[in-house]
Amino acid sequence: MAKMKEIKAKNMNVEKFIAGKVKDIQQAVGDGLAINALSGGVDSSVVTVLGHRALGKNLKTYFIDNGIMREGEPARVVATFKKMGIPVEIIDASKAFFAALKGVADPEEKREAITQTFYKKIFGKLVVKSKATYLLQGTILTDVDETVAGIKRQHNVFEQLGIDPQKAFGYKILEPLIELRKDGVRKVGRGLGLPEAVFERMPFPGPALAARVIGETSPDRIALVRKATAIMEKTFKDVDAFQYMAILHEDRVTGMRDNKRVFGNQIEIRCWDSVDARKARPTRLSFDLLESVAKKITKNIPEVVSVTYNITSKPTSTMEAV
Ligand code: XMP
């Protein structure tokens, strides 16, 4: 496999990079149509704006609501892009994702189920329906490295794994950010005039809340981790960390409610200091903050009786739980 060229953020001429990629996208797509999926993350947001600059109406952007996003996320992302004059259509695909995830507890099988549902069932069909010949995707160099090294099964890396998307799914993929790492993508985002809240957003994984449910990803369990996520994100909003998250455990433990012993769920909080997500340390949070998040979660989510904080570094831990 050919080694991918890297453009380092510090050496990058943002204006030139943007102009070059706009031209590349225009030349590749010609008079045809392209589509892309926006998740609201930094990479897909930057690709969406770059693609619209290149193709205007000939790029159709979809937000695939997989049912495993955070509270209010689909509407919030679409509203942000509407303000920038970019129309985004929401596709409600939650039934298909939950059907594919039913009974699946193994982490890699979970990721695979999400990949297959996204590309084959939902996006593949959208491409065919839209008659698009190109798919724009926000793959970055770190995704390629981690997938090739076997650290992670990224959902957005095909060609690097020897899978031809044309044969497998029926369309060609353009990856204009593939020479960049996150800091470079943020620079491009700023250069494209995206709101800072978009390009400085905390990372959120492609498999969404399914990466934070240990065991089966059922609608009920997603609803539970979604509530805990909303509470913890609100409580931690002033914490200066690379990323924080709430995880739903598969094991349950005995707890107490109304003077009775109950067998309840456990939520684990993780909060990471990191530069590039390749290594990370748990943030030294105040105990007051930790106790307060535990109190809020157990008060507002009756099914949860126990909240813990992860004190392990990456490695051996990963940042997400799945
Ligand atoms: P891990 O859990 O591998 O996560 O230590 C490192 C960083 O990557 C994010 N992550 C993902 N991002 N698709 C993504 O777009 C994925 O499949 C995925 N898995 C993990 C994670 O949130 C963290 O920032």
Per residue in 72-105, pLDDT (tens digit) is: 999 999 999 999 999 999 999 999 999 999 999 9
Top mutation candidate among 111, 152, 316, 318 for ligand 1, by most atoms within 8 Å of CB: 152
* 243 against 158, higher pLDDT: 243
* 92 against 278, higher pLDDT: 92
How far, in Å, from the CA of 276 to the mean position of ligand 1? 11
Structure confidence at residue 230 (pLDDT)? 98
Flag whether pLDDT at 151 surpasses 60: yes
- Structure letter (DSSP) for residue 277: S
Flag whether pLDDT at 219 surpasses 80: yes
Pocket of ligand 1 from Cβ distances under 6 Å: 152, 154-155, 203, 205-207, 211, 243, 277, 314, 318-320
Helices (H) and strands (E) in the chain, counts: 12, 9
What is the average pLDDT score of the chain?
93
In DSSP terms, 254 is beta-bridged to 263
Q: Give residue 159's pLDDT band: very low, low, confident or very high (50, 70, 90).
A: low
How far, in Å, from the CA of 244 to the mean position of ligand 1? 12
Above pLDDT 90, what percent of the chain?
A: 80
Structure confidence at residue 124 (pLDDT)? 76
Measured at the CA of 144, the angle between CA 143 and CA 145, to 5 degrees, comes to: 95
Is-contact 269 246, C-beta < 8 A?
yes
Position in ligand 1 atom list of the atom nearest CA 207 = 17
Cβ partners under 8 Å of residue 247, min gap 6: 212, 213, 214, 225, 267, 268, 269, 270, 321
The residue whose C-alpha atom lies closest to atom 19 belonging to ligand 1 is 205
How far, in Å, from the CA of 205 to the mean position of ligand 1? 5
Overall average pLDDT of the 10-35 stretch: 96
Question: CA 65, CA 69: separation in Å to the nearest integer?
Answer: 7
Label residue 98 left, alpha or beta by phi (over 0 means left) and psi (-120 to 50 means alpha). alpha
Structure confidence at residue 1 (pLDDT)? 46
* 1 against 136, higher pLDDT: 136
Is-contact 273 281, C-beta < 8 A?
yes
Cβ partners under 8 Å of residue 175, min gap 6: 137, 138, 139
Q: Give residue 152's pLDDT band: very low, low, confident or very high (50, 70, 90).
A: low
Q: Give residue 169's pLDDT band: very low, low, confident or very high (50, 70, 90).
A: low
How far, in Å, from the CA of 75 to the mean position of ligand 1? 23
Structure confidence at residue 278 (pLDDT)? 85
- Within 10 angstroms of residue 5's Cβ, the number of other Cβ atoms is 8
The residue whose C-alpha atom lies closest to atom 18 belonging to ligand 1 is 205
The residue whose C-alpha atom lies closest to atom 13 belonging to ligand 1 is 206
Q: Which of 137-141, 148-152, 313-317 has the lowest mean pLDDT?
A: 148-152
Cα–Cα separations (whole angstroms), residue 127 to 36, 156, 162, 255: 9, 16, 21, 49
β pairing state of 260-273 and 281-282: antiparallel
Upstream peptide bond of 315 is cis (omega within 30 degrees of 0): yes
Is-contact 188 177, C-beta < 8 A?
yes
- Structure letter (DSSP) for residue 302: T
* 3-class DSSP assignment, residue 16: helix
Overall average pLDDT of the 131-160 stretch: 78
Flag whether pLDDT at 2 surpasses 60: no
Structure confidence at residue 14 (pLDDT)? 97
